[in-house]
Amino acid sequence: MIIPTLRQLQYLVALGETGSFSRAAEACHVTQPTLSAGIKELEEMLGVKLAEREARGAKLTHAGQLAVTRATALINDAHALVQTVQSAGALLTGPFHLGAIPTIAPFVLPAAVRALSETYPNLKLYLHEDKTSRLIDQLRTRTLDAALIALPWDVHGVETLPLFDDEFLFAAPINHPLAKKNGLSPEDLANEDILLLEDGHCLRDHALSICRMKTGENKGQVAATSLGTLVNMIAGGLGVSLLPKLATDNGLATGPDVALREFVRPVIGRQIGIAWRTGSPREADARKIGEIVKTAVRH
């Protein structure tokens, strides 16, 4: 009897979770042709069609849905076996794959990683930086054990633990009129050119919400690919923006050409939390890493 490999089963589960060959390939860190070939081999081995390509993604057949249910259980058992043997019940030992979004990773991970390496020397930490939607896909397909993201983010099969709030600061060119205004409030930004990160960054959505803008209102402007680029655009006089205090307090260089101002009433732009797959055997590890991140940020 020919037995499917765990890798082939992971490809199928990823396809079922994401509904897309391309997103499933991203979640499994392989090329789309590799994933497609793996699923085709699985279909040939089982002698049944598991997925149908559609105009907007892919849909599992009835046989595919049954296979995903059983495959998920097998993969969970395999992960539990590996982690149980490696950790022998100890907290934060063995390999752990931790993801983080780009607007959190550089400002939180250095201190957190130092604290983890000092306290848990038997932990082998692997770090992954990506946008939230991709991190969530990787949690659900078991590529990641946990991820640091901005909340709220409600999705089936993923649990979250809030860690701390992140205040937003007003950022403008040093000679901008609002840079010296007393009693600054979000309403003062109503007629300003608000600079944003590109689509896919949750920080963009938080900024749009605070400024009460709709997606596309400033369609003509160039979106920044990172917070560093956003700061450079502000310094160049292209507009104003909101920056997370977490970033400005922990290494984001703004320079002399950018004025940073707190709002008269603190604006909580987002809540930072840690996420893990429901039922994961590493839930206790994820919660402990969350505690350590929270402590590292506080200090």
- Given a cut of 70, whether residue 200 has pLDDT beyond it is no
- pLDDT of 215-249, one tens digit each? 444 444 557 778 888 899 999 998 888 899 999 98
- Cα(76)–Cα(159) distance, rounded to whole angstroms? 16
- DSSP assignment of 65-134, as one string? HHHHHHHHHHHHHHHHHHHHHHHTT-TT-EEEEEEE-TTTHHHHHHHHHHHHHHH-TTEEEEEEE--HHH
Give the pLDDT score at 10.
Answer: 94
- Cα(63)–Cα(65) distance, rounded to whole angstroms? 5
Q: Which domains are seen in the chain, by residue range?
A: 6-86 (1.10.10.10), 95-299 (3.40.190.290)
Range in 19-33, 115-129, 139-153, 202-216 the model is least confident about: 202-216
The CA angle 296-147-282, to the nearest 5 degrees, is 95
- Cα(112)–Cα(109) distance, rounded to whole angstroms? 5
- pLDDT of 76-135, one tens digit each? 888 777 766 665 567 898 899 999 999 899 999 999 999 999 999 989 999 999 989 899
Give the pLDDT score at 221.
Answer: 54
- Cα(181)–Cα(161) distance, rounded to whole angstroms? 37
More confidently predicted of 265 and 25: 25
More confidently predicted of 217 and 201: 201
